[in-house]
Amino acid sequence: MASANTRTALFVIDVQAELARDLATQIPHADRVVQAGERILKSARHAVAKGGEANSPSIIVFIQHEETDGTLLRDSEAWQLVLPPQPGVETELLVAKTTRDTFESNPDLAQRLRDLGVGHIVAFGIQSECCVLSTCRGALRAGFDVTLLRGAHSTFDTDGKTATDIERDVEIELQEKRAHILPWEDVIKSWE
């Protein structure tokens, strides 16, 4: 990572209607993630408007998963973002993906971010052990400094583990890979 790349990008990963709003299919902690996401976005947008000083975001990347065979079909109700970018705002990018890792689905994304001076990615979203983990791993492999926001990502319970257990496991794995794990509330305070 070049020392010139000092800007921060906020990644909003797959906060889509099927997993965050549909009562039949949403993750158990969807309300927590969406409410945290709303506050994170409000703070990030304020920081971007001020010029993305220090470690605060200067760009926001909204990631939207889509499938050709499944429920997240482009333009379907399930596919819609619950936390969408503001139309016409240059500092808010929409990135589609078809694999868990946003960087794998978008091979030019890392260079696009570097060209914008981004060296640090702050991430939150849905599902912890799937797209959140894979995208954070991809960012680390691409040479970015990564921070995952504790309390602002989650997933489904499984037979053997609760969503909260899985969140913690993902945080431990990423921390072992040298990512930072910080409570979202603390991070947005540092942006103010």
pTM, entire model: 0.96
CA distance readout (Å), 177 to 13, 136, 148, 162, 188: 20, 10, 12, 23, 23
Per residue in 6-31, pLDDT tens?
899 999 999 999 999 999 999 999 99
- End-to-end Cα, the chain, rounded Å: 26
- Which residue ranges make up each domain of the chain? 7-191
Residue-wise pLDDT tens digits, 147-172: 999 999 999 999 899 999 999 999 99
DSSP string, 23-85: TTT--TTHHHHHHHHHHHHHHHHHHHHHT--TTSEEEEEEEEE-BSSSS-BTTSTTTSBSSPP
Q: What fold does the segment set 7-191 form as a domain?
A: Rossmann fold (3.40.50)
Is the bond preceding residue 111 a cis peptide, omega within 30 degrees? no
Spatial contact of 105 and 63, defined as CB atoms under 8 Å apart: no
Local confidence band at 192 (pLDDT 50, 70, 90 cut-offs): confident
